[in-house]
Structure 1
């Protein structure tokens, strides 16, 4: 017993010291990359107009397409989200989904809807995300934010049509919950040298409900904590996020892409 007690005391004495308050304060925090001003002006978009896919488009989600173009990010199995006549709805807890196909540069059209009666506030109010290049599991990639920004305050580089934690949109063109929103995107993928170093950065042009909101050069992949950075990758799937919020789920329809 005496030997055991002595060994325990010795172990305590030689254990690494606890992290100091200064070191804890120096750790990156999510709040460090939240931007709250300037607040983008509210622009009321025009009436929603159906945008059918052009003749050379790849239809990723249509009235008669089912979910054949989508798989689970977790294990590559068929996507488990709900589908009703071309309206795909997040099935909470099934995880992110992504396209079977991989893309480099493209034009994308996507429509999404926040449900009527949505609850919550800030980032906890109808949260999802469009990842323009899915570079790995989970939320790896480059995210154009999807969230309810109709009379819902949050950090501006996290509101709808932001490049998450990088660029606020130039305008808040959000329609009210229950109405369909549209994203029209031109995506230019980054390129990398043989040794993995960045040659040219990713570029993004985006319209939200027909309103011009982004024309930016990305600083790297999306990160929740810390600064964005690039890692080498090639052609990549397009990913949609199951954020796992308790709020009612987001729906999607009429998704098509044109390779450029």
Structure 2
């Protein structure tokens, strides 16, 4: 092997370092104006402008004319076949949205050989390698019955959405590696897969093609393949980021260690080193000293692919400086240890200086790098995430109905528009069905629901803590915190923004025999009972509001979002097909979908009792 290869490869999102986007590889979308991006598409595939599914009918997608959505709707007349791209890929990041029909099954084959399973797995408690988001198993007919399938990987948790809702999938894939003779020297890997905002796979090694692959051989490049012979499925916003350009190499690496607490770079000729030698990697462990030392690395950076590179220096426990081609790329002063530079192909001088000056800090030297066609990776020590020893995660499960009160941060600007909104009287309610919600006691309303794991209480309980917890599963936010009930002069009047004139006062909550809460509060002189329960089979959340002696012009707001569309009688899909609202009993009142501040709202007059479900 020529020279010394850069070591300590890791994805940037596992180091916690954020890079400038200007150096990032280019991402391209697959055009979905027609089917010209694919080889010999079968009759079951079409391009559509919109698509919907039925919760009560298997394997059906209804389509509307237009472009932008890729739909597979196999039938007896239109036999489904797999759809294969015209292009081939090696290392890629793949990002897309997909929608499953009820009871449907499909898959995405990376390089045509490694399947990520797509399935209607709504409500599954213990996912397997056959469920949504799984790496499908390999298959060997020569093995005994019950053992023919092997090396499949279930997702870490089931965060699947209901049929007819868009699901968001992101995959970082590393292709297998081959030597000059064509012999495989490294297996393919799923570096990371994220479904609906939740990591479901990380550093999964693929030892060979999965069942149903287009070939038993493995290749450096192959097409993307969408399974089309199983069931109805739709895709949109398919984006590909290609990698595969050669990484820079660090060769002829030498080091010198100097004793002392150096706030600035010293004159090296005036001080003798405590230690010196050659090294195969950047690391703070090279120093024989624990504190108050400086390490200076020098060598040659060999660049094969010219272009713009961004270097993000991790210098935990101290300061750092980096020079390339005798020019400072990352200065020692300031907190932003990031630099972007255009580099030609060829060899150029490299220098990195690390000064350990924080007595209690954990030393670390590392450089996160991204360049043209080069996946983000790390040279040297991994980022420590700060100078303090880390702890966690501290996870709270919900094997039974569980309540934990905490602060809860939501991704909406607060009144000053600068930070996330913090719910300071949040009641987090977890269930063994793996369907959970957060109730805002200050507004008498749910602010979010989620599916999967319950809570990460690390920020609440570790060290001094900040009192907040975080959902572990796939979260559906229900909008900016606001009252459920309000008096409106007319159905077009703006929703109430604060407690003025409402007489709002939370009373607390009572638990039933199964430890499920019913919340109580007073508003407009009436007492409200708010009973929230997990729906059968974990298919959503059912809510029943009861108001004693409701006054005139009282309304309940059930949803807000960029869009609210009626999909059937008493059923609405909200915010670009993110979740459903089903009116179970409106007390004979007619719901209204209205415009408000650039959003849509679903409101209904309140006449004593109202029940509805959130299906997600």
TM-score for both structures, normalised by structure 2: 0.28
| Corresponding residue of 1:50 | none
Counterpart pick for 2:47 among 83, 88, 94: 83
Structure 1 or 2: more strand by fraction: 2
Is 1:259 matched up with 2:216? no
| Corresponding residue of 1:214 | 201
CA distance in 2: counterparts of 1:96 and 1:186, whole angstroms: 22
* Residue 210 of structure 1, CA deviation: 1.0
Is 1:67 matched up with 2:35? yes
* Residue 78 of structure 1, CA deviation: 4.3
CA distance in 2: counterparts of 1:214 and 1:130, whole angstroms: 15
Q: How does 1:91-240 map to 2 (within 5 A)?
A: 91-92=73-74, 93-115=79-101, 118=102, 125-134=103-112, 141-152=113-124, 156-165=128-137, 166-204=152-190, 205-215=192-202, 216-223=204-211, 231-240=217-226
Aligned length: 180
Distance 1:198-1:242 versus aligned 2 partners, 3 A rule: same
| Corresponding residue of 1:8 | none
Preserved CA contact (<8 Å) 2:73 2:80: yes
CA deviations 1:3-23 (Å, max 9, x no partner) are xxxxxxxxxxxxxxxxxxxxx
Larger Rg: 2
Preserved CA contact (<8 Å) 2:209 2:218: no
CA distance in 2: counterparts of 1:207 and 1:235, whole angstroms: 23
CA deviations 1:82-139 (Å, max 9, x no partner) are 1112111114214101110111111111111013xx2xxxxxx2100000111xxxxx
* Residue 143 of structure 1, CA deviation: 0.2
Distance 1:55-1:167 versus aligned 2 partners, 3 A rule: closer
**Helix, strand or coil at the partner of 1:158:** coil
CA distance in 1: counterparts of 2:26 and 2:124, whole angstroms: 38
CA distance in 2: counterparts of 1:235 and 1:213, whole angstroms: 25
CA distance in 1: counterparts of 2:198 and 2:31, whole angstroms: 23
| Corresponding residue of 1:16 | none
CA RMSD of aligned residues (A): 2.5
* Residue 69 of structure 1, CA deviation: 1.1
TM-score for both structures, normalised by structure 1: 0.63
**Helix, strand or coil at the partner of 1:67:** coil
Preserved CA contact (<8 Å) 1:104 1:189: yes
Distance 1:220-1:55 versus aligned 2 partners, 3 A rule: closer
Consecutive unaligned residues in structure 2, runs of 5 or more: 1-23, 49-66, 138-151, 244-616
Is 1:56 matched up with 2:44? no
* Residue 235 of structure 1, CA deviation: 1.0
Preserved CA contact (<8 Å) 2:88 2:224: yes
CA deviations 1:132-180 (Å, max 9, x no partner) are 111xxxxxx1000000111247860111111002111111111111110
CA distance in 2: counterparts of 1:242 and 1:154, whole angstroms: 26
Preserved CA contact (<8 Å) 1:196 1:231: no
Structure 1 or 2: more helix by fraction: 1
CA distance in 2: counterparts of 1:239 and 1:60, whole angstroms: 13
